[in-house]
Amino acid sequence: MHRFKITELGKNAFWLRGDEREHLARVLRLAPGDDIIGFDNTGAEYYATILKIEDKSVTCRILETSHPEVEAKTKVYLIAGLSKGEKMEWVIQKGTELGISGLVPLRAKRAVMRLEGTKAVERVQRWQKIAGEAAKQSHRVQEPQIFEVANWSELQNLLPANTQWLISYEEEKTERLHSVLDRFDPLQPIALIIGPEGGFDASEVSWAQEHLGAISVSLGPRILRAETAAIATMTMVLAHYGDLG
């Protein structure tokens, strides 16, 4: 059944407007009487029937409300050094499917892409849309939040104070990811800092260790591309606590 993000939720009905209304009426050509699923990012899922389709909105009657156990119990945030457009987009798409709670695009020193001003704002909107589509496709009931593009100094204020920080670093030879995850508390948020194509500068890693209390980890003996490291790390963290696989 097709899934839509609810624009406005009432007691026994909800409304879809904007893109969601367009997608339902124009792209999918659904009609009154058709059943759909709505979600409002609160963790609830609403089975509903389309009552009427108007120019600017679609009205749906709620038949049943459920709270599927589809979201990960451990809140995982990816802090991703800005990479070329396409790579960033699929890290967001894959991360959403895997189950992350949010993603912060990071202005790392070696980031190949510079994003400033309105260009950055538009890009984040586009990324949020990609996360929303991936959330529907993977049947999630909460889409990950794509944060504004941040600098190192802004990271700390974006996530909860009890966040546990990890930074993936090629030069780290002793500390392995899985052993750090054994020590972390899965009931507190976990933030994974992954470099851009060029990797992190040593000064960035020490900054993260000093100011965020981040633990630098190795992902193993093989060198991973930035986007591979991002997806593999999200997978391993979610799997370590039983939220995946």
* Binding stretches for its own copies (CB under 8 A): 68-70, 94, 97-99, 137-140, 176-178, 217, 219-225, 228, 231-233, 235-236, 239, 242-245
| Helices 85-98 and 226-240, axial angle in degrees (round to 10) | 10
In this complex, which beta carbon is closest to its own copies, that of residue 53 or of residue 224? 224
Q: Minimal distance in Å, beta carbon 80 to its own copies? A: 16
Chain centroid, CA 10 distance in Å: 27
Q: Distance between CA atoms of 184 and 165, rounded to whole angstroms?
A: 10
The continuous run of DSSP H or E covering 90 comes out as helix 85-98
Q: Minimal distance in Å, beta carbon 244 to its own copies? A: 5
In this complex, which beta carbon is closest to its own copies, that of residue 117 or of residue 221? 221
Q: Minimal distance in Å, beta carbon 201 to its own copies? A: 21
In this complex, which beta carbon is closest to its own copies, that of residue 41 or of residue 228? 228
Contact 113, 85 (CB under 8 A): yes
In this complex, which beta carbon is closest to its own copies, that of residue 58 or of residue 231? 231
> Residue 220 burial (CB < 10 Å; 0-12/13-18/19+)?
exposed
Reading the block at residue 15, the tokens are 């409304």
In 3D space, the residue among 113, 12, 132 whose CA is nearest the CA of residue 61 turns out to be 12
Q: Minimal distance in Å, beta carbon 236 to its own copies? A: 5
Q: Distance between CA atoms of 216 and 213, rounded to whole angstroms?
A: 10
Q: Minimal distance in Å, beta carbon 94 to its own copies? A: 5
In this complex, which beta carbon is closest to its own copies, that of residue 21 or of residue 136? 136
